[in-house]
Structure 1
Amino acid sequence: MTQRTILVADDHPLFRQALKLAIGRAAPDAAVIEAGQLHEALECAAAAPRLDLVTLDLRMPGADGFSGVAQIHAERPGTPILVVSSADAVDAAHRARAYGAIGFVSKTAELAELERAVARALAGETDALPQPDAATDTPGDMAARIASLTPTEMKVLTGVMAGKLNKQIAFQLGVTEPTVKGHMTAILRKLGVLNRTQAVLAARTLDLAVEE
């Protein structure tokens, strides 16, 4: 049987150690890959021949709100993502689920709770979500549309959100400008918008607007 692989993406080394301890109890056979920034997590997700679980902090360097969840989900749509964050669970858990996460656990959780969350995620079990407040703004159809983007489309969209021109995005991705334009056309179609400005406004639903 091929050894299971788990990616731990968090910018705090001490908390990565805590997660590795929880993983060691829940899945002692698993190999653990560590990433301290979002770009490192994306590189690991793209390169790993097998990836059974990703534990992801929402507020890593390079992440814009829920963009980390959306990008990793686009890169490895079949891999469960367990968000481990200090963000408010009621709001963030629902929003993380909309972008492709399978579960959510607070960073204030005890080690045993982290262990149980890892075990559930590895088993493919989706967490029951806490009930949101009536005033909580949870994403709906647009979140599903953003989650449907391919890995390259997500990279193009995040470049557009950063105010970059097509030629700058093309240079960053190592592709031609017409290729970026083609991806942009696909993004507009999938999001159901007419231009780049509308795409950026739609993508702002990725922003994390919850209190720590």
Structure 2
Amino acid sequence: MNILVVDDHPLYRSGVAYTLQNAGMDVHVVECAALDTAFQRLDDGLQADLVILDLQMPGYSGLDSVRSMRSRRPEVPVLVLSGNEDPAVVRECIDLGAFGFVPKSAPSEQFHAALTLVLSGGVYLPPTSLSVATPASRAQQDAWGRLGAQLTGRQRQVLMGIVQGKPNKVIARDLGLSDTTVKSHVAHILDALVVSNRTEAVYALARAGISIRDLESSPPPVH
């Protein structure tokens, strides 16, 4: 498994790499001090299973580092690390398709939990981010428990695209479907999760502790 760590602070970057190499997993860690260097490694053929990305990178402002990575390499999951713990920033990162967000102040156990969940196809959000969201209703909790049986295999593929932050047109292209068909699948997914938009859907999965692999392993509904 190849994990690309992109952070311009040498000590922190080395600390993340050390933690990864001692996490009990078979990983090969590639360190990059600049985002453009990371893009070059990927363009040269590096097959990354995960990118761990510092939010603030030289030459990029705001969330541009996440935007650039998601735009250029949408197939690679991104786990954001940041000293900024503002829930609004967390939500924006998820809006852009990040698979998770870990504050740099988080203990190592939280980092391990995030890493495990993201690599299994889930979305990790810090507890502080989840706690400020509107409490889940009983109807939502019940719906999340039945989700695997409510979605077809194709809808689970569309849900993965939603989690990755892909727009409908990209999901349609990747799956060989029409835009109209994807839009219909998205509407069904939102209904199944009892949410009103795509970002709420991602938060719902995170709060319910549901990963895409959980959905893939669920038996299809019986008609």
TM-score, normalising length from structure 1? Answer: 0.57
Structure 1 residues 112 and 53 mapped into 2: Cα distance closer, same or farther (>3 Å)? same
Indicate the residue corresponding to 2:115 in structure 1: 118
Pairwise CA distance, 1:133: 7.3
In 2, the alpha carbon distance for the partners of 1:72 and 1:78 equals 10
Indicate the residue corresponding to 1:46 in structure 2: 43
In 1, the alpha carbon distance for the partners of 2:23 and 2:34 equals 25
Identity %: 31
1:25 lines up with 2:22 in the alignment: yes
1:15 lines up with 2:12 in the alignment: yes
Question: Does the 8 A contact of 2:17 with 2:31 survive in 1?
Answer: no
> Unaligned 5+ residue runs, structure 1?
135-145, 149-212
Deviation digits for residues 114-147 of structure 1, max 9, x if unmatched? 122112211121124525579xxxxxxxxxxx97
> Unaligned 5+ residue runs, structure 2?
135-164, 168-223
Q: How many aligned positions are there? A: 135
For CA contacts below 8 A with separation 6 or more, give which structure has more relative contact order.
Answer: 1
SS of alignment partner, residue 48 of structure 2: coil
One-letter amino acid of the counterpart of residue 99, structure 1: L
1:130 lines up with 2:130 in the alignment: yes
In 2, the alpha carbon distance for the partners of 1:64 and 1:90 equals 18
Equivalent residue for 2:96, pick from 90, 99, 109: 99
Structure 1 residues 89 and 124 mapped into 2: Cα distance closer, same or farther (>3 Å)? farther
Pairwise CA distance, 1:61: 0.7
Indicate the residue corresponding to 1:151 in structure 2: none
In 2, the alpha carbon distance for the partners of 1:79 and 1:8 equals 13
In 2, the alpha carbon distance for the partners of 1:9 and 1:46 equals 15
SS of alignment partner, residue 130 of structure 1: helix
CA RMSD of aligned residues (A): 2.4
TM-score, normalising length from structure 2? Answer: 0.54
In 1, the alpha carbon distance for the partners of 2:24 and 2:57 equals 25
In 1, the alpha carbon distance for the partners of 2:83 and 2:166 equals 23
In 2, the alpha carbon distance for the partners of 1:133 and 1:117 equals 19
Pairwise CA distance, 1:26: 3.5
Equivalent residue for 1:34, pick from 20, 31, 35: 31
Question: Does the 8 A contact of 1:25 with 1:115 survive in 2?
Answer: no
Equivalent residue for 1:80, pick from 74, 77, 82: 77
In 1, the alpha carbon distance for the partners of 2:23 and 2:122 equals 14
Structure 1 residues 120 and 48 mapped into 2: Cα distance closer, same or farther (>3 Å)? farther
